[in-house]
Amino acid sequence: MNQGNEKNRAGWNFDNSYSKLPEFFFTIQELNPVSSPKLVILNKPLATSLGLDVQALESEESVDVFAGNQVPDGGLPLAQAYAGHQFGHFNMLGDGRALLLGEQITPKNKRYDIQLKGSGRTPYSRGGDGRAALGPMLREYIISEAMHALGIPTTRSLAVVTTGEQIQRDTRLPGAIMTRIAASHIRVGTFQYVSRWGSVSELKELADYTIQRHYPEIDKNNPNQYFLFLQEVIKRQVSLIIKWQMVGFIHGVMNTDNMTISGETIDYGPCAFMDTYDPATVFSSIDLRSRYAYGNQPKMAGWNLARFAETLLPLLHEDQEKALEIAQNAISEYPMLYVDNWVAGMRKKLGIFNEEDQDKSLIDELLEMMEKHKSDYTNTFRALSYGKQEDMNLFTTPEFKQWEKLWQERLSRQSESMEASLQLMKDNNPTVIPRNHRVEEALKAAVENGDYSVMEKLLKVLSNPYMETNEQESYCTLPPDPDRPYQTYCGT
């Protein structure tokens, strides 16, 4: 079978709608081939959902596609331009080590970006080598799949290949390329880029394209369509950040270039999940001032949304002062929208169906006790859901006993049964998360020993996070030294 037929057999069904925007938004890019690519992991369920043939994807020809050695049929490799506030400082950025191959149209007529990450230098590399190391690519694979299983909107990883080459970071590391799937890679930073260096016409073209792709319910003939667009983006970001907070996920680098307009989580560099509950928790080695600590994530999402609103001012109203007023009115809704939805999410974690004014106080009191007694975030709610309160010190304290009495009284004031409350809790409190020491264990086995069985077992356990099983038990335990500081790194 010749190469073209083989690539067709894989099931690629590309469109390239982004390339129809002005060339100002991207650069058509030649591939940067690697020497000896090898497929090390393939996301078979995801491949099937995309309309791809799993067996064909394991062929030599498809591995060349994943490695950036061959363009798949219908693909048009390009590097996207964008900007962003990185830890508060504005920079010109862009895909410095990634290529968008095209947009796969699935059998259900869904559209997903197919992007190679670690595929080599582009005009936006800013002196970098454009490559990626195996460890960070596998880390993104693990965490993004865990997030998907937790029901959190996220980009996903289709495949990881090693390149047969070494890259230089602090040491020499095995190179790798990940194939990332996203609803799109349009970011707040994409709008900041056109706002700073483009024309109003180009801004409108980007906004219209994004609305059509991600918010088609907005009537393009509505004179307030860009205000409605802003409102909908705010709602999606509120929903996303709350989902992060509910499971103790810390992104680590919430720069505006890492905030998608679609409302998906993107860029799993220095991210991690919190063990001991502490709003000040920071894992990222580059977040020296705790800008993106767990407790700061809601505030920083609001800050990022304000930057997004600023980019839309020319579209909101022709009068600058009126446009600013419209944007401020939209952004001013964010804090209350966040708090209301956060309380609603926490109610579910405590088995509460209806609303009472004192619910926030009940929630805050529990979190304050958890912080005081250094309780594990996930395991605390797991214990409450499954009646395993004997396992943690917090539950033996007089203050918890008093709180528990108030909680039980609260549950009794709703029409739903206790069984229904417990089921609501089980549906909203994961029994297992990708514990940092377990992720590191899997990465070490794969990178140092070429042993992917540890990672595969971890992925299997993480695939059903809302179902308690015997297999999960050892993955719910804390690391041997839980108070030891844990750091994550960007990988670039």
Domain contains 13: yes
Residues 110-142: tens digit of each pLDDT: 999 999 999 999 999 998 999 999 999 999 999
Is residue 8 scored above 80 in pLDDT?
Answer: no
Residues 293-340: tens digit of each pLDDT: 999 999 999 999 999 999 999 999 999 999 999 999 999 999 999 999
Compute the distance between CA of residue 179 and CA of residue 68 in angstroms, rounded to an integer. 10
Residues 434-448: tens digit of each pLDDT: 999 999 999 999 999
Compute the distance between CA of residue 145 and CA of residue 180 in angstroms, rounded to an integer. 12
pLDDT averaged over every residue in the chain: 94
Residues 235-276: tens digit of each pLDDT: 999 999 999 999 999 999 999 999 999 999 999 989 999 999
Q: Are residues 164 and 226 in the same domain?
A: no
> Confidence class of residue 392 from pLDDT cuts 50, 70 and 90?
confident
Domain contains 244: yes
- Which two structure tokens, joined as six digits, stand for 342? 């956060």
Which of 182, 217, 248 is where one domain is finished? 182
Domain contains 130: yes
Q: Are residues 168 and 219 in the same domain?
A: no
Is residue 477 scored above 70 in pLDDT?
Answer: yes
Q: Are residues 366 and 230 in the same domain?
A: yes
Out of 73, 113, 257, 376, pick the active-site residue.
Answer: 257
Q: Find out whether 27 and 123 touch, Cβ atoms under 8 Å.
A: yes
| 389-398 average pLDDT score | 86
Q: Are residues 379 and 486 in the same domain?
A: yes
Which of 152, 182, 212 is where one domain is finished? 182
DSSP structural state of residue 113: E
Q: Are residues 263 and 175 in the same domain?
A: no
Is residue 6 scored above 70 in pLDDT?
Answer: no
Q: Are residues 412 and 450 in the same domain?
A: no
Domain contains 194: no
User: What are 104's strand-pairing partners?
Assistant: 14, 112
Residue written as tokens 């930073």?
189
Q: Find out whether 195 and 81 touch, Cβ atoms under 8 Å.
A: no
> Confidence class of residue 281 from pLDDT cuts 50, 70 and 90?
very high
How do 83-86 and 89-92 pair as beta strands? antiparallel
Please tell me the total count of domains within the chain.
Answer: 3
| 369-398 average pLDDT score | 92
Q: Are residues 402 and 257 in the same domain?
A: yes
DSSP structural state of residue 137: H
Q: What is the pLDDT of residue 90?
A: 97
Q: Are residues 136 and 217 in the same domain?
A: no
Q: Are residues 164 and 274 in the same domain?
A: no
Residues 142-188: tens digit of each pLDDT: 999 999 999 999 999 999 999 999 999 888 999 999 999 999 999 99
Q: Are residues 10 and 152 in the same domain?
A: yes
Domain contains 492: yes
Q: What is the pLDDT of residue 470?
A: 87
Compute the distance between CA of residue 293 and CA of residue 254 in angstroms, rounded to an integer. 10
Query: Is 257 designated active site?
Result: yes
Domain contains 190: no
Compute the distance between CA of residue 50 and CA of residue 35 in angstroms, rounded to an integer. 28
Compute the distance between CA of residue 438 and CA of residue 460 in angstroms, rounded to an integer. 13
Q: Are residues 176 and 313 in the same domain?
A: no
Compute the distance between CA of residue 205 and CA of residue 199 in angstroms, rounded to an integer. 10
Residues 17-43: tens digit of each pLDDT: 999 999 999 999 999 999 999 999 999
Domain contains 197: no
Domain contains 193: no
Cβ-based neighbour number of residue 266 at 10 Å: 20
Cβ-based neighbour number of residue 312 at 10 Å: 22
Residue written as tokens 């002062």?
321
Structural domain range at position 418 = 204-431+476-492
Q: Are residues 147 and 215 in the same domain?
A: no
